[in-house]
Amino acid sequence: MPSPPKNSPCAEIMNGIRWDLSGAEVEAESFRRIEAETGEIALPLPQWRVVRRLIHAAGDCSLRDQVVFAHNPVEAGLQALREGVPLYADSNMIRSGISIVKLRRFCSRYSRQDIHCHVAAPDVARHAQETGRTRALCALEKNPGVLNGGIVLIGNAPLALAGLTRMILAGEVRPRLVIAMPVGFVNVVESKQLIMATEIPHIVVRGRRGGSPLAVAALHGIMESGDATP
113 vs 2, more confident: 113
Enter the pTM of the model: 0.91
Confidence of residue 8 (pLDDT cuts 50, 70, 90): confident
Outline where the chain has alpha helix (H).
9-15, 23-38, 45-58, 73-82, 92-97, 100-104, 122-131, 135-140, 144-147, 158-169, 188-196, 212-223
pLDDT in tens, 103-132: 999 999 999 999 999 999 999 999 999 999
How far apart, in whole angstroms, are the C-alpha atoms of residue 151 and residue 25? 31
How far apart, in whole angstroms, are the C-alpha atoms of residue 115 and residue 100? 9
* Single-letter code of the amino acid located at 127: H
CA separation, residue 196 to residues 59, 150, 171, 193 (Å): 25, 18, 16, 5
pLDDT in tens, 156-198: 999 999 999 999 999 999 999 999 999 999 999 999 999 999 9
Percentage of the chain surpassing pLDDT 70? Answer: 95
pLDDT score of 149 more than 80: yes
Q: Nearest 5°: CA angle at 71, between 214 and 27? A: 30
Query: Residue 22: what are its φ and ψ, rounded to 5°?
Result: -80, 170
pLDDT score of 144 more than 50: yes
How far apart, in whole angstroms, are the C-alpha atoms of residue 195 and residue 202? 8
pLDDT at residue 183 in the model: 96
Q: Are strands 177-180 and 87-89 parallel, antiparallel or unpaired?
A: unpaired
pLDDT score of 230 more than 80: no
Q: How far apart are the first and last CA of the chain?
A: 43
pLDDT in tens, 42-82: 899 999 999 999 999 999 999 999 999 999 999 999 999 99
Contact 92, 120 (CB under 8 A): yes
Contact 176, 150 (CB under 8 A): yes
Percentage of the chain surpassing pLDDT 90? Answer: 85
Structural domains of the chain, with CATH: 66-223 (3.40.50.10230)
pLDDT at residue 229 in the model: 42
- Residues marked as catalytic: 56
The closest of 223, 181, 172 to 93, measured between CA atoms, is 181
Confidence of residue 1 (pLDDT cuts 50, 70, 90): low
pLDDT at residue 131 in the model: 95
Q: What is the mean pLDDT of the chain?
A: 93
pLDDT at residue 228 in the model: 40
CA separation, residue 199 to residues 71, 149, 174, 177 (Å): 7, 14, 10, 10
